[in-house]
Chain A
Amino acid sequence: MKVKHKKIDYSKWGYIFILPFFVSFFIFSFIPLLDTIRYSFFEYYRSGIKEVGPNFVGMQNYISLLGSDMLKYAGNTLILWMIGFIPQIVIALVLAEWFVDARLKIHGTQFFKVVIYLPNLIMASAFAMLFFTMFSTNGPVNSILMSIGLTHQPVDFLGSALGTRSLVGLMNFLMWFGNSTIMLMAAIMGISPDIFEASELDGCNSIQRFFFITLPQIRPILAYTLITAIIGGLQMFDVPQILTNGQGTPDRTSMTLIMFLNSHLKSKNYGMAGALSVYLFIVSGILCFIVYRITNNDDPDGSKAAAKKAKKLQRKG
């Protein structure tokens, strides 16, 4: 039995199992990606209803993008993302820890778990619409502030860079902290209770337990949360778009990269949009690599450990 088993080559199953993913990826993402890259080397846009191009222009689109405010928009995106993400991950970690901590005896956990995820269910555009109404100069937030005497003049939230950015950050935080909490909770619940029990016997307090047991144990999921948050940050679009009417007002301080891309797509400037997409693609790749390196420093892709483990098991078997 043992001998026979060892001879079976399972590797073909590996290929079979990952095949659907790759086929679907190549058709629906890779071919379009090549298309985008191809157009990034062309001058190709629409003037009115007349088409201009495609004319091959080499790196021209890339160069003129470097001369534009692209880097400023990248900075905006980063700032907007940080304002939302830092509170998001901190609160999510704390909440996840609380929810799984039986000693805290939180009442109505089920209720809270449901409620914190609710903002994620509203479409971002609808959410932004609500915010826009609430924080307008004649909106309810200003009338509350004025009636409790905090301010005499209505606060022009959307008129200042700080106000607009904070609102975007607040919205992103509200929309995503529940999502992260659930994700991290699932990860913490996946940790073997034995470890917690052992730590309790060793006299760990909850803070020690959090930093020395929970955090290291959930590192893969934490990395996942970080990476998805970065993807979300890079793709940030609908919230600032609707809050600022697509202009990134005031003074283009809340213009994100995808809003910039959108304005090229809207003007049907396919060449420029293609080049910008390629830049975005490169940036996202680098970011992802860095994050992955930091969170899994000893084993860049996790496959080494898996392979080792598999071998060990096979040998054992």
Chain B
Amino acid sequence: MKSKQPNHLRSIFAHVVLIILSFMCLFFFYILIINATRSHADLQKGFSALPGSYLLKNLSSVANDGTFPMFRGILNSLIVSGCSAAICTYFSALTAYGLYAYDFKLKKIAFTFIMAILVMPTQVTAMGFLRLITNMGMYDSLLPLIIPSIASPSVFYFMYSYLQSSLPLSLVEASRIDGCGEFRTFNQIVLPIMKPAIAVQAIFSFVGSWNNYFVPALIIQSKNKMTVPILIATLRGADYMNFDMGKIYTMILVAIVPIIIVYLCLSKFIIAGVTLGGVKE
């Protein structure tokens, strides 16, 4: 009885805070949606809280513009982000497991090394990266946007921390005794345990890759390989003659839809992960 009252108050407080935060988060989507429904001329006049009637017009001008192949762009982005998220989480989990479960001479060095490169900003290597990609004949191709995500130190570190807290080595031992090969142990025993971690990192790397402008802008040249952020940048770079803010907002809106879907799908895994966390000691 003693603790019931404060809990009640805390609960109200929590709800209020959550509602305020949600309002702040949703407010920007609201503005984005409103702006996407207004024409360029309306937008120039200033802000309005009420939607306009231009959404369909904006949508059709986004869909029909041959110089900005939006749907092709979304497809490219889906391919790049999907593959990146998949190989990034898989190989990071593999590396983390390799360093966590096995004992070998270079283990400590390898670990320290990854920790050392953890914070290296992407921009630092950009110049050399471009030169390398060109020499390898991968300029203007989607591959260099995908393959390098095999080595994602921060995802690795997350996976490693997760393994530390959630994977008892006895489980690995047990599977060995059952005659499982090492790869099978990883794929069938370790990976399912890591599901929550993988889901979380898959979302993050998918979103990161979806919104990445820097590297694609370096590498991609031809229109039909452009990803969404480059297309939006190109559209925004259009000059005074065919500059259309309504179209830009609509494009941003269209570009968000796929990631929201991916997010909603993966967020279920995170919730499901609760029960999986409990295999300790």
Residue positions of A touching B, CB distance < 8 A: 1, 5, 10-18, 20-22, 24-25, 27-29, 31-36, 39, 91, 94-95, 98, 103-107, 110-127, 130, 133-134, 138-140, 143, 174, 177-179, 182-183, 185-187, 189-194, 205-206, 217, 220-221, 223-224, 227-228, 230-231, 234-235, 237-238, 258, 261-262, 265, 270, 273-274, 277-278, 280-281, 284-285, 287-288, 292, 301-303, 305-307, 309-311, 313, 316-317
Contact = CB atoms under 8 A, between A and B. Distances in A.
Interface string B159-174: 0111011100110010
A91 B270 CA distance: 20
Q: Which interface class (under 10, 10 to 19, 20 to 34, 35 or more) fits B?
A: 35 or more
Contact of B28 (A130, A224, A274): A130
B169 A313 contact: yes
Interface in B92-108: 92, 94-95, 97-108
B162 A190 contact: yes
Contact of B128 (A35, A91, A111, A183): A35
Contact of B132 (A28, A116, A192): A28
B154 A24 contact: no
B241 interface: no
* For the complex of A and B, 9 pairs with smallest distance between CB atoms: A17-B98, A32-B128, A35-B128, A14-B102, A220-B161, A11-B104, A284-B119, A25-B151, A32-B125
Contacts of B99: 14, 17-18, 303
A24 B148 contact: yes
A119 B278 CA distance: 31
A212 B279 CA distance: 21
Given A21-B114, A130-B32, 17 more contacts: A14-B99, A14-B101, A32-B132, A95-B21, A105-B11, A122-B28, A122-B252, A187-B165, A227-B154, A235-B121, A262-B123, A277-B123, A284-B120, A285-B116, A285-B120, A305-B164, A306-B164
Contact of B7 (A11, A103, A194, A217): A103
B22 interface: yes
20 contacts: A12-B104, A17-B186, A18-B95, A21-B114, A31-B132, A33-B124, A104-B7, A114-B264, A115-B26, A118-B260, A119-B28, A134-B31, A140-B47, A190-B277, A206-B10, A277-B123, A281-B121, A287-B119, A302-B111, A303-B108
B267 A114 contact: yes
B204 interface: yes
Nearest to A115: B22
A199 B102 CA distance: 34
Interface string B195-237: 0110010011001000101000000000000000100110000
B139 interface: no
B127 A118 contact: no
A284 B118 CA distance: 9
A304 B260 CA distance: 41
A309 to B, nearest CB: 6
B71 interface: no
A233 to B, nearest CB: 10
A10 B97 CA distance: 13
B74 to A, nearest CB: 14
Nearest to B277: A190
Contacts of B98: 13-18
B14 A98 contact: yes
Contacts of A140: 31, 47, 49
Contact of A112 (B7, B22, B161, B255): B22
A11 B98 CA distance: 9
B127 A36 contact: yes
Contact of B127 (A29, A113, A139, A265): A265
Given A34-B128, A179-B204, A24 B151 contact: yes
B160 A21 contact: no
B38 to A, nearest CB: 12
A305 B14 CA distance: 38
B47 A182 contact: no
Contacts of B47: 133-134, 139-140, 143
B95 A21 contact: yes
Nearest to B22: A115
B66 interface: no
B121 A117 contact: no
B28 A127 contact: yes
A235 B154 CA distance: 14
B160 A182 contact: no
Contacts of A280: 121, 123-124
B127 A21 contact: no
B165 A220 contact: yes
